[in-house]
Amino acid sequence: MERLRDLDEHLFRRESGRMVAALTRIFGVHNLALAEDVVQDAFCRALEVWKARGVPENPAAWLMATAKNRALDVVRRERTARTFAPDIGRLLETEWTTAAIVDEAFSHAIRDEQLRMMFSCCHPRLPEEAQVALILNILCGFGANEIASAFLTGRAAIEKRISRGKRVLASSRRLFDLADAEFSPRLSAVRRALYLLFNEGYHGACAESAVRVELCREAMRLTALLSEHPPAAGPETSALAALMSLHAARLPARLDSGGDLSPLVDRDRSRWDSRLVAEGLALLERSAAGHEVTAYHIEAAIAAAHAGAPSADEADWESIVSLYDRLMAVAPSPVVALNRAIAIARRDGPERGLEEIHAIEGRERLESYPFYPAAMGDLELRRGDREAARRHFAAALALARNPTERRFLEKRARTCESSSKN
Amino acid sequence: MSEFVYLFRASETEQREAMGTPERAQRSMQVWLAWIRDLEAKGHLKDPGQPLERGGKVVRGKKKVVTDGPYVEAKDLVLGFIIIEARDLAQAVELSTGCPMLEGGGSVEIRPVMKSPF
3 state SS of B114:
coil
3 state SS of A122:
coil
Residues in chain B closer than 8 A to A215 (CB atoms): none
Shortest CA gap A419–chain B (Å):
46
Residue of A36, A89, A92, A28 lying closest to A67 (CA atoms):
A36
R_g (Cα) of chain A, nearest Å: 24
Neighbours of A411 (CB within 10 A): 14
This prediction has a pTM of: 0.84
Shortest CA gap B7–chain A (Å):
13
Residue A166 reports pLDDT greater than 90: yes
- Asked whether B44 and A11 are in contact (CB, 8 A), the reply is no
Residue of A nearest to B81 (CA): A52
Residue of B nearest to A52 (CA): B48
Residue A143 to residue B28, Cβ atoms within 8 A: no
pLDDT band at A137 (very low <50, low <70, confident <90, very high): very high
Instruction: Choose the final residue of a domain: A107, A140, A160.
Output: A107
Neighbours of B72 (CB within 10 A): 12
For residue A186, tell me if it sits in a domain.
Answer: no
pLDDT band at B7 (very low <50, low <70, confident <90, very high): very high
Using CB atoms, which residue from B15, B18, B36 is nearest to A51? B36
**Rounded to an integer, what is the distance from CA A149 to the centroid of its chain?**
15
Residue A144 reports pLDDT greater than 70: yes
Residues in chain B closer than 8 A to A13 (CB atoms): 22-23, 26
Neighbours of A367 (CB within 10 A): 11
Shortest CA gap B94–chain A (Å):
20
Count of CB pairs separated by less than 8 Å, A with B: 84
- CA-angle at A385, arms to A382 and A388, nearest 5°: 110
Q: Which domain holds residue A100?
A: 1-107
**pLDDT confidence of residue A345:** 95
Half-sphere exposure of A408 (CA within 13 A, CB side): 25
CA distance A64 to A262: 41
For residue A86, tell me if it sits in a domain.
Answer: yes
Residues in chain A closer than 8 A to B48 (CB atoms): 3, 51-54
Average pLDDT over residues B32-47: 93
CA distance A211 to A402: 14
For residue A29, tell me if it sits in a domain.
Answer: yes
For residue A144, tell me if it sits in a domain.
Answer: no
DSSP characters over A167-207: HHHHTSSSPPPTTSTTHHHHHHHHHHHHHHHHHHHHH-S-S
Residues in chain B closer than 8 A to A144 (CB atoms): 21
Q: Which of B23, B27, B28 to mutate to test the interface with A (most CBs of A within 10 A)?
A: B23
Counts of helices then strands in chain A (DSSP H, E)? 21, 0
Residue B22 to residue A7, Cβ atoms within 8 A: no
Residue A366 reports pLDDT greater than 90: no
Residue A146 to residue B21, Cβ atoms within 8 A: yes
**B81 φ/ψ angles, rounded to the nearest 5 degrees:** -155, 160
Using CB atoms, which residue from B16, B32, B51 is nearest to A40? B16
Q: Identify the residue with better confidence: A355 or A367.
A: A355
Residue A3 to residue B20, Cβ atoms within 8 A: no
pLDDT band at A258 (very low <50, low <70, confident <90, very high): low
CA distance B14 to A398: 43
Residues in chain B closer than 8 A to A159 (CB atoms): none
Residue of B nearest to A15 (CA): B22
Instruction: Choose the final residue of a domain: A107, A141, A161.
Output: A107
Number of domains comprising chain A: 2
The domains located in chain B, with CATH, are 2-112 (3.30.70.1060)
Q: Which of A12, A66, A155 to mutate to test the interface with B (most CBs of B within 10 A)?
A: A12
CA distance A102 to A76: 11
ipTM over 0.85: yes
Largest CA distance in chain B: 51
Residue A326 reports pLDDT greater than 60: yes
Q: Identify the residue with better confidence: B75 or A156.
A: A156
CA distance A253 to A211: 16
